[in-house]
Amino acid sequence: MKNKVVIITGASSGIGKALAFAFGKEGAKIVITGRKQAPLIEVSEALTNQGIDNLAIVSDVSIEDDNKKMVAQTINKYGKIDILINNAGISMRAMFEDCDVNVIKTLMDINFYGTVYATKYALPYIKATKGTIVGVSSIAGYRGLPVRSGYSASKFAMNGFLEALRTELLHTGVHVLTACPGFTASNIRVASLGADGTSKGDSMRDEGKMMSSEEVADRILKAVKKRDRDMVLTLQGKMAVWVNKLFPSLADKLVYNALAKEKDSPLKKNV
């Protein structure tokens, strides 16, 4: 990673922040983006204090022009792009029948179109360096999760986009990684949207029993170094993908029962 230029979207907290430190400690030059200036600058200062060369860009991935400017600013400062990590994302918690459709549009704009926009403008530079494109997706991109229909849709879309892109770039030397953490202790659930589009402000799950953002970041770093095609984390995540592929009807029941146990779940228990 020495002197590699790495763009990480959504890097003001959680997995994105952890990725900035993981790649930075390996000698990479880090470009971090986020919508909120204050936490982004805080991360930038912490990186600088650890001797990590970095550039903080206030940017909203759901706005196409912001992505264009992000790439231009990166090239202006560092002259190249080696790795793009599409990490910015948002979740939701609501039954579809109760959900304002604009909530689902918001998730698609950030989780899917954010990946599309950033990748579109960074791709020529990544082709030049034979670099890497990473999509931080989710188990929900393999197996639809109840109460998270919009999130699942956006991650399925991301997975399909990355798979198609990987195939298009098969003979170019560009590496495309689809990274799918399981439930991770980060602020994505606290910031997740409810049926009316406002933040829920709490988590439905026990964060202490989840994989940490730092552990996820370290695993993604290793997968980038090895130029892996896919990365599915946690035993629960691997089982969900495997059972859904081989026994989809059983997976429906298992997923329903598991998520019905979440705090304040709208799913009926013991059906």
| Model confidence pLDDT, tens digit, residues 77-121 | 999 999 999 999 999 999 999 999 999 999 999 999 999 999 999
3-state secondary structure of 178: strand
pTM, rounded to two decimals: 0.89
Respond yes or no: is residue 256 known to be catalytic: no
Q: Which domains does the chain have, with CATH numbers?
A: 5-234 (3.40.50.720)
Q: What are the angstrom distances between the C-alpha of 88 and each of 17, 78, 169, 231, 266?
A: 11, 22, 23, 18, 27
Which entry of 78, 117, 121, 151 is annotated as an active-site residue? 151
Task: In whole angstroms, give the CA distance from residue 268 to residue 261.
Answer: 9
DSSP β-bridge partners for residue 24: none
Task: In whole angstroms, give the CA distance from residue 52 to residue 44.
Answer: 9
| Model confidence pLDDT, tens digit, residues 10-23 | 999 999 999 999 99
Exposed, middle or buried, 242 (CB in 10 Å: 0-12/13-18/19+)? middle
Instruction: Find out whether 167 and 182 touch, Cβ atoms under 8 Å.
Output: no
| Model confidence pLDDT, tens digit, residues 183-241 | 665 555 456 788 777 776 555 555 456 689 999 999 999 999 999 999 998 888 888 89
CA 146 to chain centre: 19
Q: Which residue reads 């993604």 in tokens?
A: 220
Range 10-39 average pLDDT: 96
Per-residue confidence (pLDDT) for residue 198, from 0 to 100: 78
Q: In what order do the strands lie in the sheet with 132-136?
A: 54-58, 29-34, 5-8, 83-86, 132-136, 175-180, 230-232
Q: Bigger pLDDT: 269 or 145? A: 145
Contacts of 4 (CB under 8 A, 6+ apart): 23, 27, 28, 29, 82, 83, 131
Instruction: Find out whether 30 and 23 touch, Cβ atoms under 8 Å.
Output: yes
Per-residue confidence (pLDDT) for residue 187, from 0 to 100: 56
